[in-house]
Amino acid sequence: MRYRIVTVQPLLMLLLLAGPISLRAQIGPSTTAPPSPFTLDPQAPQPAGNLLTQPALNPGALVLLNLEARFARDVAAGGGKAFAFWFADDAVSLSNGRPAVLGRGAIAAQADWDPKVYQLSWTPTAAQMGPSNDMGFTWGHYEGHSKDRNGEPVTITGRYITVWRKLPNGTWKVALDASATEPPAVGDCCALPKP
């Protein structure tokens, strides 16, 4: 048991102390002070262009961003069924105010949306590969688009983190996916509803 604690502790310490590296900080100097590595601010300015073509990204981050791009492309085309396909058998999904969903089968049962009815998209803000190159995470901003019963558009937005794990057969799967809706805009917390 002690051996497991010794091997897990360095990875946990790395994730806790290093935090995600902002892509903006990796790309080069900006006109503002560099962001703190401990600040997860999806409203911060993002680099222009395709993240995968940024030359300053390390190879591990590129692997994870490429996985995210393939995952997002599949979900855009296949909806919930494609979403669940990317999860490991023992994966966990966490969402605001809902119980944890454990296992790909349970995740698939809840992710039953048709992409013609609900469109889920996301944009990674940063990626970080662990030191063993078999586990890493991405985080960013997501949007979900649908229509209410009156046919009016409904958009939900939030932040996500996806933990990726490389399986023994060499494929990458989602080990953990967690999301939270966006906090209210500054000043909206206690404002009266507008007519």
Q: Cα–Cα distance between 124 and 91 in angstroms, integer?
A: 20
- pLDDT over 80 (residue 188): no
The predicted pLDDT at position 186 comes to 73
- The verdict on domain 56-182 having CATH code 3.10.450.50 is yes
- pLDDT over 50 (residue 42): no
Number of H helices, E strands in the chain: 4, 6
Coil, strand or helix at 99: coil
- 182 or 72: which carries more pLDDT confidence? 72
Nearest to 139 by CA among 128, 125, 152, 150: 125
Mean pLDDT for the stretch of residues 129-157: 95
User: What is the pLDDT of the chain when averaged over all its residues?
Assistant: 77
The predicted pLDDT at position 136 comes to 97
Mean pLDDT for the stretch of residues 138-166: 95
Nearest to 118 by CA among 94, 146, 98, 142: 146
pLDDT in tens, 78-88: 999 999 999 99
Range of lowest pLDDT (69-73, 113-117, 188-192): 188-192
Q: Measure Cα distances from 129 to 16, 20, 23 in Å.
A: 13, 10, 13
The predicted pLDDT at position 194 comes to 64
pLDDT in tens, 83-122: 999 999 999 999 988 999 999 999 999 999 999 999 999 9
Element (H, E) at 110: helix 104-110
Q: Cα–Cα distance between 42 and 62 in angstroms, integer?
A: 20
At residue 142, φ and ψ (nearest 5 deg) are -125, 160
DSSP symbols for 6-60: HHHHHHHHHHHHH-PPPHHHHH---SSPPPPTT---TTS---SS-GGG-TTS-HH
The domain limits of the chain are 56-182
Strands of the sheet containing 101-102, edge to edge, are 101-102, 87-94, 172-181, 153-166, 135-147, 119-129
Q: 20 falls in which pLDDT band (50, 70, 90)?
A: very low
Coil, strand or helix at 87: strand
Mean pLDDT for the stretch of residues 131-150: 95
Mean pLDDT for the stretch of residues 42-48: 45
Q: Cα–Cα distance between 110 and 120 in angstroms, integer?
A: 14
**The whole model's pTM is what?**
0.68
Biggest distance spanned by C-alpha atoms of the chain: 61
Its sign, for the CA torsion 125, 130, 136, 137, is negative
Q: 142 falls in which pLDDT band (50, 70, 90)?
A: very high
